[in-house]
Amino acid sequence: MVNNAEKKRNLVQNIIRDVCLDLEDYTKLNSMLIHQRELMNQRNNAALLTHNASQTALCEILVKRASNRSLYLNQLGFDANAGGMTALISVLPVHLKPKIKVLWQNVMKIVEDNHRENETNGNLLVMQQSIIQRVLQQDNQDQIDYGANIPA
């Protein structure tokens, strides 16, 4: 039978393990976002399809891990958000606190970096779609037969 202290220790260990994995995966996602932008600039649609599938799969893993972390934080009596993580870190044993605090700060920094990269990619996509739309409108205007309405 698992006692309450052991259950809490397991939950904290799961959170710390997942934060370590998040740092690795968010770093990988950052590289993927940069590569995605390169593929977009090259207009390499075939490679983008493959790349985006891998990127989506990684994002799904990150979302699942964040969901689990929220659940673990709630079970420990903390808010299921970044504030809850900060509160958890503040009550960790002295020998763990600095290491986990830096680890969490690094995760938060790479998440911010990923948001910026994703926003840049989104802006590029909007710009490319706008250009395509203007070209298509231009093509439609070029196809007008100006002599079609001349009375015979």
152 in a structural domain: no
> Does residue 151 lie in a domain region?
no
Number of folded domains that form the chain? 1
Which tokens sit at 117?
A: 């990269």
* Separation of alpha carbons 15 and 22, rounded Å: 10
Answer yes or no: is 61 within a domain.
yes
The reported pLDDT for the residue numbered 152 is 55
The answer as to whether 150 is a domain residue is no
Q: Are 54 and 111 in contact (CB under 8 A)?
A: no
Residue 135's pLDDT is 82
Q: What are the tokens at 123?
A: 């802006």
pLDDT for position 100: 97
Residue 41: give the domain boundaries.
Answer: 4-140
Does 147 map to a domain?
no
* CATH code (residue 9): 1.20.58.300
Is 84 a domain residue?
yes
- Cβ atoms of 72 and 14 within 8 Å: the answer is yes
Q: In the prediction, which pLDDT does 84 show? A: 97
Q: Which of helix, strand or coil describes residue 1?
A: coil
- 140 has a pLDDT exceeding 90: no
pLDDT digits (tens, 9 = 90+) for 38-92: 999 999 999 999 999 999 999 999 999 999 999 999 999 999 999 999 999 999 9
pLDDT of residue 10: 97
How many CB atoms sit inside 10 A of residue 109's CB?
Answer: 12
- Decide if pLDDT at 132 tops 90: no
